[in-house]
Structure 1
Amino acid sequence: MTYLRLLQHRAPDGVRSVILAEGDAAHFLQGVTTTRELALRAIADGVTLSEAAKACTAGEAVDIAAEFAAGTLLAPIDHDDSAHLLLTGTGLTHLGSAEGRNKMHAAAASGENVTDSMRMFLEGLEGGKPAAGTEGQQPEWFYKGDGQLLVGPGEALTMPAFAKDGGEEPELAGIYIVGEDGTVYRLGLALANEFSDHVTERHNYLWLAHSKLRQAALGPELLLGTPPEKIEGTSKIVRDGETIWEKPFLSGEANMSHTFANLEHHHFKYDLFRRAGDVHVHFFGTATLSFSDGVTTQEGDVFEISAAPFTLPVANPLARAAAPAAATMTVKAL
């Protein structure tokens, strides 16, 4: 089965455009410059995003692999005002995801000593896939930041100067937009690196919120339509041209303890996440981490995440921000 994908392109002169890809073929869409613009058009016309894309006049053919290599592809979604793009996510949602978390917490996972993480995972396993129209178990939820922390293809994932670690999290991300009447629309899925500070989280699980306030990267393709039940991919770390760690990862609802619908309900049930015009990038979690295998990342390492039916990877080098001039952040009384 072939899937339609949307990509965002920026030419060297700064001109923006949207690309529609199907299988190995791709072409520019005339009359539209961003994915968000096309999504709002689809909502106004009462059609799907795929239908809106197909209704556009086809422009010249394009080799998306060549454009990826040239660095002209952007994240598949953005917003003119970065404050109106929210990055959030859910954890302990994948079969096996509690194992890695428990390794971090170094706690027993049975009997009276069951950890909060394991208990949340088991509750999700039992109630994360409710019948249609009913509410299931709510997942772990976290906030990552707004659109200024969204990193595009090939750009560096930069950890703060104070970070203890910068580690990959290979995931799927749901991409959403809120209509004028508050209706939430899922535009599609993107391959993602949710990028966290696992050393900080390991120190104390109550620091999870701190560990998640980091950049995140999306692959260049937005997968449209009903996603496959199973998605299998590979996550690896490349250092000085050599692969130092590589492992398969599984995602898609067949490999998860929650349905997308249940995770979406427990995010968008809050009124503040249904503000008209806002874009949401919501990370669905993972069960595969190099950190769980004892890998310590270094600046310059490249994270590469790939998975069919996406044809292009998420590939980003690791960097560290320069230390601020002052040792502490000072707030002035006014």
Structure 2
Amino acid sequence: MAQRLLQHRAEDGARSVILADGDQAWFLNGVASTRELAQRAIAAGHSLAAAAEAAGKGAAVDIAAELAAGRLLAPIDHEDPAHLWMTGTGLTHLGSAEGRNKMHAAAAAGEKLTDSMRMFLEGVEGGKPEAGQTGQQPEWFYKGDGSQLVGPGDDLLSPAFAQDGGEEPELAGVYIVGLDGTPFRLGLALANEFSDHVTERHNYLWLAHSKLRVAALGAELLIGEVPEDIRGTSRILRDGEVLWEKPFLSGEANMSHSIGNLEQHHFKYGLFRRAGDVHVHFFGTATLSFSDEVRTNPGDEFEISAAPFTLPLRNRLAIAAAETVSVKVL
């Protein structure tokens, strides 16, 4: 069965880590955070699963009940948010066969392709290199630091100046950098890589602006082997009713890039191999309500679910108060 790690905060603020295996779950003895457990595993030369086993199982816990009570956090964080990076890659999923065929047909006919389509096709051709080789580099973007990380049940706060607040249902890889600069993948989490699609569509050079937003992680960190094929559902609820619903696909079977290739092109930069830093890297999606002409409103709830994760990721859209920013000369 798929093993998952969850971070828990009790009513008195005490933190702990939960190990879930199938439909059973237990508190781990003497572990306050996923990052702490990862550091133990690296120091001992063990896997994360082995480090969890070594900690020992405490009391059994109902993770669905703890989620409903608001006691589950994002499955990774850092006590200093400046040492948690949130980044991502786009144009990494195959999408519909019809869309791919249209792009290939345009290329064959000698039509001029957009930069986005060219990058997509290059990823299809070279995004899954043979072992030991370097594949095509993907689109890359910066989301923010740990202050922008939102947990399950928390609001997705959109800036007052944003033109849109839309969901992106996907997977995120979670990493920690060892003392020698080696990046370690801890696992995968369900994610909502929240973005401003109206701003992005106006001019693709505004992609960087559209991505500087909060993003949410589901409560469970899937550890161990990465499933090749992950199938889930993305929904938007308005006033308790389903406004929009669609299946989404992820995992390497549905991607134009391998996860290893995306990781290599992120961590090839020395900046991202600083000892002790945590990285949350969003792998992209091909399914957006925005593509179906849906426009979200404050109070709308995004819901993302996919096996082998057992808990859904739910977050409501909220709008931040407007701010006036002025720069002073010293």
Q: Shared topology, TM-score over 0.5?
A: yes
Paired position in structure 2 for 1:104: none
Distance 1:88 1:298, change over 3 A: same
Deviation of the 1:113 alpha carbon: 2.1
Normalised by the length of structure 1, the TM-score is 0.95
TM-score normalised by structure 2 residue count: 0.96
Percent identity of equivalent pairs: 77
Letter in 2 for 1:32: V
Runs of 5+ unmatched residues, structure 1: 102-107
* CA shift for structure 1 position 96: 1.7
Report the alpha carbon displacement of residue 97 of structure 1 after superposing the two structures with TM: 7.5
**Quick one: distance in 2 between partners of 1:295 and 1:10?**
35
Counterpart for residue 240 of structure 2: 241
Q: Alignment partner of 2:111: what SS?
A: helix
* Residues 10, 72 of structure 1: 8 Å contact kept: yes
Counting only pairs closer than 5 Å after superposition, residues 320-331 of structure 1 correspond to structure 2 as: 320-324=319-323, 326=324, 329-331=325-327
User: 1:215 aligned to 2:214?
Assistant: yes
CA distance change for structure 1 residues 109 and 331 in 2, over 3 Å: closer, same or farther? farther
TM superposition shift of 1:250: 0.2
| One-letter amino acid matched to 1:229 | E
- What is the aligned-residue RMSD (CA, Å)? 1.6
> 2:77, 2:96 → 1: CA distance?
29
User: Which residue of the partner structure matches residue 187 of structure 1?
Assistant: 186
Query: What is the rounded CA distance, in whole Å, between the counterparts of 2:98 and 2:184 in structure 1?
Result: 33
2: CA distance, partners of 1:53 / 1:81: 24
Q: Give the structure 1 partner of residue 142 of structure 2.
A: 143
Cross-structure match for 2:52 = 53
Measured at CA, do residues 155 and 133 of structure 1 come closer, stay the same or move farther in structure 2, by a change above 3 Å? same
Aligned to 1:33: 32
The 1-side partners of 2:142 and 2:287 are apart by 20
Change (3 A) 1:213 1:97: farther
Kept after mapping to 2: 8 A contact 1:166/1:197: yes
* Residues 97, 286 of structure 1: 8 Å contact kept: no
- Residue in 1 that maps onto 2:284: 285
Unaligned runs of 5+ in 2: none
Aligned position for 1:82: 81
Q: Deviations over 1:74-110 (max 9, x none)?
A: 0000000000000000000000289889xxxxxx964
Deviation readout 1:10-51 (Å, 9 max, x if unpaired)? 001000000000011000001110000000000000000010
Equivalent pairs counted in the alignment come to: 325
**CA offsets, 1:274-333, max 9 Å, x none?**
000000000000000000000000000000000000000110000000112x3xx21111
Match of 1:232 in 2: 231
Give a deviation string over 1:113-166, Cα, whole Å, max 9, x none.
Answer: 211000000000000000011000000000000000000010000000100000
AA of the residue aligned to 1:218: L
Query: Could you tell me which residue of structure 1 aligns to residue 12 of structure 2?
Result: 13
C-alpha change, 1:192 and 1:143, in structure 2 (3 Å) is same
| Structure 1 stretches of at least 4 aligned residues deviating more than 6 Å after TM superposition | 97-101
1:245-264, aligned counterparts within 5 Å? 245-264=244-263
